[in-house]
Structure 1
Amino acid sequence: VKDILSANYKIHTLLKIDEGTNLGAVTIRLRSLQSVMERSLRRHHNPEAPEVVEEQLPTYDYNRVVFTEE
Structure 2
Amino acid sequence: MSATSQISLIERFTSSRVLLVGDFMLDRYVFGDAERISPEAPVPVLRVIERQDRVGGAGSVALNVVALGG
- Greater RCO (CA < 8 Å, at least 6 residues apart): 2
Q: Which has the higher helix share?
A: 1
| Fold conserved between structures, TM > 0.5 | no
Q: Which has the higher strand share?
A: 2
Per the normalisation by structure 2, the TM-score is 0.21
